[in-house]
Structure 1
Amino acid sequence: MKRGLFISIEGPDGSGKSTQIKLIKEFLNDIGMDAILTREPGGTVISEKIRQIILDKEHIEMDPMTEALLYAASRAQHVAEVIKPGLQSGKTVICDRFVDSSIAYQGYGRHLGDAVRIINEYAVAGCMPDITFLLKVDPSVGKDRIKEEEQDRLENEKLDFHNTVFKGYLELEEIYKDRIIGIDATKNIDEISNQIVSHINNILKVKD
C-alpha cells in the first residue's frame, strides 16, 4: 500500500490554524481521501497527559530543557502510535503543529539551539511531513485573538518571547523551502484555504 500524505500546520498562537485544519480535512474528504486530524502536543492518551503538564499555567518553574524533552516525549509516542501507522495504512495525516514548533519555541524562543533538533530526530524516527503550511501573522495580532483567561502557559509568555519564536519560524521557512510553505494569515479564511488547497493539489499530482 502506498504511504499516505503527511501535512503539518504551523504558526504563531492565534494564527487561525484550527480553522484551516478543518477546511483541509473537508477538502480531502470531498475528493475521497481518508484523513486523520491530530495535534501536538497530544494525539494519544499518553501524549495528551504530557500536554496537560506542559501547558499548565501553574508550572511556571518548568526548566526550558524539561519543556523540550516533554514535547519530544509526547511526539515520540504520537509518531509511534498514530502518525506512522496512519501513513502506512495509506491515510493522510493532518497535524496541528509538529517538530518545527519545537525548534521555533524551544530552539529559538528558549534559546536551546540545535539541541532541540537533535532530540527530535530521535522522537520522529525519520517521519517528517511531506508539506508544512506556516500561517504567518504578527505575534501581537495572534496573541490578541486569544482571551487572556484562555491562554495556556506558552501563550501567556511575553510578546518578546513570541517575537523570537516567529523569527525562528521565518528562518525555518528559508532553510526548508521545499517543504515549508508560508501563507499570509492576515487574508480572509477563503483566500488562505484556496492557497493551501492549491499546494495540496500540486503535491498530490507529484505523489500520483
Structure 2
Amino acid sequence: MTGTFIVIEGLEGAGKSSAVALVNDFLVKRFPQREIVNTREPGGTPLAEEIREIWKQPRQEPMAPITELLMVYACRAQLVETVIKPALERGAVVLGDRHNLSSVAYQGGGRHLSEQVEALSNITLGEFKPTLTLYLDIEPSIGLERARQRGALDRIELEQLSFFERARQCYLVAAENDSAIVTIDASQPIEAVQADIISALEQSL
C-alpha cells in the first residue's frame, strides 16, 4: 500500500474533534495533490454507522461487554476492508478518528477483555496498523467534565471514572511500547496542544 494512515486517539473530552480538524487542514496544505480520506470509528460506512447508532445510545437493555466488543470489530472490519485499505492502495492519506487502539483501551482495559481484543484484532486486522497515531492524553476526570459541558452523554461517556482510568493506563502502556504512537499532553492550553500536534506531524511525515 502506498498511502498513509494517521489516527487520532484519546479519552472523552481530550479534544479529538479539534485535533482531527487541525490535522486535516495540515494534510490538505502539505499534500495538495493527494486524496485525503476522513474516517471515524465505530462507523465510517453506511452499514457501520447503523451499528454505531445501536452501539452508542443508552438503552434499558444493558449491553453485554462481549456484545459491545463484537459490534465495534464488525464496524472496524467493514470500514477497513471497504474504505481504508482501498484508499491506501490508491495512495491516499487516511485520517481516522479512532482505530484499534481504542478497543485495546476501552474494551481491553475498561471492560477487562484484553485477550478477546487481541484475538479479534488478529482475525480482523492481522498486521494492519496506522502509520502514525497521535494519542491525546488527559486525566479522565478532566476529560469527562469537558464531555459533560458539551451536552448529553452517550452510553460510553456514562461509564464510571474507574473505567476511563483503566482505559488511560492501556493507552499509556501502548504508547510507551510503540514508536508509531506519539503522546500529546491534551491538558495544555489549546495553542500548545496544536503546536505539539503539528510538531509530531512534521517529524513523522
Q: Which category describes the TM-score, using the shorter chain as reference length?
A: over 0.9
Task: Provide TM-score, normalisation by structure 1.
Answer: 0.92
Trace 1:2-81 onto structure 2 (pairs within 5 A): 3-31=2-30, 32=32, 33-58=34-59, 60-81=61-82
Inter-CA distance 154–60: structure 2 relative to 1 (3 Å threshold): farther
Instruction: Give the alignment partner of residue 159 of structure 2, picking from 136, 157, 164.
Output: 157
Aligned-pair CA distance for 1:121: 2.0
Partner of 1:112: 113
TM-score using structure 2 length: 0.93
Structure 1 segments (4+ residues) deviating >6 Å: none
Match of 1:82 in 2: 83
Structure 2: any 5+ residue segments left out of the alignment?
Answer: none
Using the alignment, how far apart are the partners of 2:13 and 2:201 within structure 1? 23
Separation in 1, partners of 2:59, 2:185: 34
SS at match of 1:155: coil
Deviations 1:101-149 (A, max 9, x none): 0011111110012220220222224321011111011010000012375
**In 2, Cα distance between equivalents of 1:36 and 1:23:** 14
Kept in 2: contact 1:68–1:116 (CA 8 A): yes
Tell me the SS of whatever aligns to 1:3: coil
Residue identity over aligned pairs, in percent, reads 39
Map 1:93-112 → 2, pairs under 5 A: 93-112=94-113
* CA-atom RMSD in angstroms: 1.5
How far apart are residue 28 of structure 1 and its match? 0.8
In structure 2, what is the Cα distance between the partners aligned to 1:151 and 1:117?
A: 28
**Residues 137-176 of structure 1 mapped to structure 2, 5 A cutoff:** 137-147=138-148, 149-176=151-178
Unaligned runs of 5+ in 1: none
Secondary structure of the equivalent of 1:118? helix
Structure 2 counterpart SS, 1:57:
coil
